[in-house]
Amino acid sequence: MKILVTGGAGFIGSNLCDFLLDNGEEVFVIDDLSTGSLENISHLFDNPRFHYSIDTILNAKKMEELISWCDCVIHLAAAVGVKYVLENPLSSIETNILGTEIALKLSNRYNKKILIASTSEVYGKHTHAPLKEDDNLIYGPPSTMRWSYAASKLVDEFTALSYHRTKKLNTIIFRCFNTIGPRQTGMYGMVVPRFIQQALRDDPITIYGDGKQTRTFTYVGDVVKAIYLLAKGDKGAGEVVNIGGQEEISIADLAQKIKELVGSKSEIVFIPYEKAYGKDFEDMMRRVPSLEKLKSLIGFVPETSLDEILAKTIEYFRALAT
Ligand SMILES: NC(=O)c1ccc[n+]([C@@H]2O[C@H](COP(=O)([O-])OP(=O)(O)OC[C@H]3O[C@@H](n4cnc5c(N)ncnc54)[C@H](O)[C@@H]3O)[C@@H](O)[C@H]2O)c1
């Protein structure tokens, strides 16, 4: 298959490119390098089945050319990360809503299957677990800009589902829960790379809020496998499906675990949300996915343990630091 990966120079995208090429596919990437980097894909430049364009998904002409060549589109390009979105509110909405509309419109024009990356953020302020794809969504007001990321991804979901209903477009929306592993950067507010880098430097490990908020973490290798199985399979058209990990942990316990695994002397400190993100922030206290639907669609769910994922990620950052 010829597969277009938008955002292919990013964290999940570049790991997906590796996985697709290992499975014999031909890969096309479009990325504007706003949060991704050429370093993530430079090891692929000599592969004749790998092609890349440094351009924006808002360039409809370029997108048309790429989509017309490919059999399937995996749309990952987006403004990502709480910190990034709070700092770039307008361009983030433009990328996430207009960019996805362009990808969907052209996939429909050329009748290509398209998978759309959404996020567990769309669930909003739930505290129950596990979160199922048909749960209600609970948001704060638009004056709290933090919700704009979730809302923009939700608009993407509505748009994709509308293309499926009205045009029969073969589209699948996958909601990623916190994904971690090699190549993720801590620059845009991602918790695990930030904690690991702080621990490796023996700097204070900074927890935002009281640390009682919980998350599950998914290994990027499991996420890209799930995305590939959804792309290859014949189930899931017009569906929304969670992709996430299974071990729930509080952020305070995560900080302690990372400190121990790194063997760090860091102290663990708590910083009020307002100081970290300004007043436009509100956290989600719990985020645990139901994986029943994913299992029914592809017969696979992420299973790498948190200890194993953290060990791989620490090893990656240790190598980078030397
Ligand atoms: N990492 C996670 O935990 C997580 C969780 C939920 C959802 N997601 C979703 O997964 C996808 C990939 O996220 P990631 O974690 O790999 O982040 P990332 O920032 O590493 O990847 C996004 C990529 O998109 C590119 N991009 C941004 N705007 C673009 C534009 N206008 N044109 C072309 N390229 C553009 C960036 O340069 C980057 O390479 C995103 O859609 C994100 O919303 C990720």
Q: Is 114 within 8 Å of 169 (Cβ atoms)? A: yes
- Report which of 48, 20, 52 is spatially closest to residue 36, judged by C-alpha positions: 52
Quote the tokens at residue 288. Answer: 């645990």
Q: Cα 45 vs. chain centroid, distance in angstroms?
A: 24
What local confidence, expressed as pLDDT, does residue 321 receive?
Answer: 79
d(C-alpha 235, C-alpha 17), whole Å:
22
For residue 322, what pLDDT is reported?
76
pLDDT at 276: 77
Q: Is there an atom of ligand 1 within 6 Å of 85 CB? A: no
pLDDT value for 280 = 64
Task: From 73, 80, 148, give the residue whose CB has the most ligand 1 atoms within 8 Å, as the site to mutate.
Answer: 80
Query: Helix 100-109 to helix 60-69 angle, to the nearest 10 degrees?
Result: 40
Asked: is 2-184+218-246+287-303 a CATH 3.40.640.10 domain? The reply is: no
Give the residue from 299, 170, 169, 133 showing the smallest Cα distance to 229.
Answer: 299
Furthest CA-CA distance within the chain: 58
**Pick from 154, 311, 167, 291: nearest CA to 226:** 291
Instruction: State residue 189's pLDDT score.
Output: 66
Choosing from 149, 188, 219, 228, which is the catalytic residue? 149
* 149 is an active site residue: yes
Q: Are 157 and 114 in contact (CB under 8 A)?
A: no
Helix, strand, or coil here: 12?
helix
User: 260 alpha carbon to ligand 1 midpoint, in Å?
Assistant: 30
Write down the pLDDT at residue 188.
Answer: 67
- Measure 188 CA to ligand 1 centroid, in angstroms: 11
**pTM, entire model:** 0.96
List strand residue ranges (DSSP E) for the chain, in order.
2-6, 26-31, 50-54, 72-75, 113-119, 171-176, 179-180, 205-208, 214-216, 218-219, 239-243, 248-250, 268-271
pLDDT at position 257, please? 97
Burial of 223 (0-12, 13-18, 19+ CB in 10 A): buried
Which residues of the chain register pLDDT less than 50?
A: none
Q: Which two tokens stand for residue 246?
A: 């299974």
Tokens representing residue 11 in the block: 């964290």
State the DSSP H helix or E strand holding residue 64, giving kind and residue range, or none if neither: helix 60-69
Q: Rounded distance, CA 261 to CA 257, Å? A: 6
Domain boundaries, the chain: 2-184+218-246+287-303
- Token representation of residue 24: 């014999």
Q: Which atom of ligand 1 is nearest to the CA of 33?
A: 37
